[in-house]
Amino acid sequence: MSVNDITNVELLINDYLKIAKALVYRPDFPLYSREEQQWNRENPHCNMTRLRRLGKEIRIKMQEVEE
């Protein structure tokens, strides 16, 4: 286990937490409204698909680090 591996996992976890926090505090917008489009521009890649993908990457990296 190298310091680089740990740093990569920490960066993935930070990205995961940032997206999760943005999604938790995301207001309910009318569908396809200007406010929703602005929020999407300010918070790129903040969606559940990206969150699930990051979670999967974190699990894989943690298994590699443990080995």
Predicted structure pTM score: 0.77
Which pLDDT does position 12 carry in this prediction? 92
Of the given ranges (3-7, 8-12, 25-29), which has the lowest mean pLDDT?
3-7
Residue 1 has pLDDT above 70, yes or no: no
pLDDT tens-place string over residues 23-55: 998 889 898 899 999 999 999 889 999 999 999
Q: Are 36 and 30 in contact (CB under 8 A)?
A: yes
The mean pLDDT value for 5-30 works out to 90
b/e string for 17-32 if b means 16 or more Cβ within 10 A? eebeebeeeeeeeeee
SS (H, E, C) the chain: CCHHHHHHHHHHHHHHHHHHHHHHCCCCCCCCCHHHHHHHHHCCCCCHHHHHHHHHHHHHHHHHHHC
